[in-house]
Chain A
Amino acid sequence: MSLEQFKNRNVGTQNYTMLDLGERPKTGWDRFKQVARRSVKLELFTGLKVTFREMIKALFMGEMHTIKYPFEKLPISPRYRAIHEMKRLLESGHYRCIGCGLCEKICIADCIRMDTRYDENQRKEVSEYTINFGRCIFCGYCAEVCPELAIVHGGRYENASEQRASFALFEDMLTPLDQLNQQQEFPGFGAVSPDADKKIKKTPLAY
């Protein structure tokens, strides 16, 4: 593009493709011929044909578009960032969270609070863990920073409730123990990408 063209700000006047709409009728006789031609060609029935075809498709060929929402749901992307889930270890059933506190630290909405202590085996244990969903902006940093893939974003997007606290406690977000066998390796937001091994590079140690 030359400078000349670049500086031309009359945007409406160039680079438009004109459709070939045919001659507009000029005289009264031309207009009459156009009306007669359009009437005899029965153009209106094309419209009727289209709607009837759509009705047949919808009724008998299973192409109805309606999703009856509260009863049926559209699938959502695994990378959708909805209410958090806390995952468990598949073998032992113990929660994965190691209480490192990274999610609390990175949370830009400052909505995660956690409290940890040492249990009898001198392992860190999460004693309190809450997310204030009135503040959470669902940015996904917590899931991204978690070293253990313990906190992830699930697909539960219907978060209307009588109390915000219904979602927010650690036990609510934790995978129930009886559904542990249904817990799958999480593919969504914050998970390690499938080609992670290829992306690993040697850290240059020598300066």
Chain B
Amino acid sequence: MDGYIIATVIKAVLVLSIIAALAGFGTYLERKVLAFMQRRLGPMHVGPYGLLQLAADGIKLFTKEDFIPSGANRLIFMIAPMITAATAFIALAAVPLLPEFKLFGVTVKPIISDLDIGILFVLGMMAAGLYGPLLAGMAQNNKWGLLGAARTAAVFLSYEVVTGLSILAPIMIVGSLSLIDFNNYQAGGMGEWLIWKQPLAFVLFLIAGFAETNRTPFDLIENESEIIAGYATEYSGMRWGMFFIGEYANMITIGFLASLVFLGGFNDWGFLPGGLAIILKVSFFFFFMLWVRASWPHIRPDQLMWLCWKVLMPLAVINVTITGFVMMV
């Protein structure tokens, strides 16, 4: 029992530090990829190829004044970024990150806790993360923040329905909520991947995932051209940084979810070992999010709600119904 607790603590610390570092590295990748797609160089001067830009940004964020505007609700204003960052990392607790491997003769399961309701827990935690922007926008006594919070609520109600309904059909097929079971269901190679059985659910889940992580076609809760920075308008320094660590951690989580549920997870993929396969898949999803940001314009809040309620939700319901009929027959 003691060994289990110690192993869990070690895993939790490792996941927290590695994913937080990767989230920081993600900002560098984002700037580089966006720059290349616009035929620029991106950060170049701090360190080789601008790699130490990360450290420079980190130092800047840590040493900046922690500013709390007058008239703001101090307690909620200070708590809100922690909600975003914490829930993003808590969500990763139920995600199997790599296949099992042996280290010094001990079998290591790279999942902090193999919950029976894994995917429900992850989606629930990511949904709870939306309290961060919501509370931050309402606590900061700023009209742009308030608009951001209002948009958060509206957007949240719209896409969360789609996320749930789109993931429902794969859950029906697999018959379990545990992400490990999802992975094992697709163990038979590329032909067994759920994307072939549920292409529509994959597309819907990906669209909802973009909304869930506030990525570009749907980044309207911090849309600079309309509402300054939305919920993050009054934030500075490390509190602002925590919002963004949370956002990038969420991107990584969505990448893991999409590859685990639809793209065969960490099973061996041809000659690629499973660990490498899932890292490649998650990297692809991360790159895809940056790619989309470089390519597509973002849409208005009413368009997002129109899309979610009038297009995606009916499609998801139809998808679930058809899946049910096919399974019964």
Contact = CB atoms under 8 A, between A and B. Distances in A.
Interface in A50-64: 50-52, 54-55, 57-59, 63-64
A66 B40 contact: yes
Contact of B292 (A48, A65, A68): A48
A48 B39 contact: no
Contacts of B10: none
Contact of A54 (B39, B292, B296): B39
Contacts of A57: 39
B157 interface: no
Given A44-B296, A47-B295, A47-B296, A54 B44 contact: no
Interface in B182-225: none
A44 B295 CA distance: 9
A3 interface: no
B311 interface: yes
B37 A55 contact: yes
Given A47-B295, A47-B296, A48-B291, A54 B40 contact: no
Interface string A2-43: 000000000000000000000000000000000100000000
B52 interface: no
Given A35-B311, A44-B296, A47-B296, A64 B39 contact: yes
B296 A59 contact: no
Interface in B264-303: 291-292, 294-296
B295 A66 contact: no
Nearest to B293: A51
A54 B37 contact: yes
A128 to B, nearest CB: 44
Nearest to B45: A68
Q: Majority SS of interface residues in chain A?
A: helix
Contacts of B17: none
B172 interface: no
Given A35-B311, A44-B296, A68-B44, A51 B291 contact: yes
Contacts of B40: 58, 64-66
B36 interface: yes
A51 B39 contact: no
Given A35-B311, A68-B44, A63 B295 contact: no
Contacts of B321: none
Contacts of B68: none
Contacts of B44: 68
B117 interface: no
A47 B288 CA distance: 13
B295 A58 contact: no
A54 B33 CA distance: 11
B41 interface: yes
A82 B114 CA distance: 71
Contacts of B294: 51
Nearest to A64: B39
Interface string B41-54: 10010000000000
Contact of A52 (B37, B38, B39, B311): B37
A71 to B, nearest CB: 10
Given A58-B39, A64-B40, A66-B40, A50 B311 contact: no
B72 to A, nearest CB: 39
A52 B41 contact: no
A59 B295 contact: no
Given A35-B311, A68-B44, A50 B39 contact: no
Contacts of A47: 295-296
B295 A48 contact: yes
Contact of B295 (A51, A64, A65, A68): A51
A65 B41 CA distance: 8
Nearest to B297: A47
Nearest to B44: A68
Interface in B289-326: 291-292, 294-296, 311
A55 B36 contact: yes
22 contacts: A35-B311, A44-B296, A48-B291, A48-B292, A51-B37, A51-B291, A51-B295, A52-B37, A54-B37, A54-B38, A55-B36, A58-B37, A58-B39, A58-B40, A59-B36, A63-B39, A64-B40, A64-B41, A65-B39, A66-B39, A66-B40, A68-B44
Interface of A: 35, 44, 47-48, 50-52, 54-55, 57-59, 63-66, 68
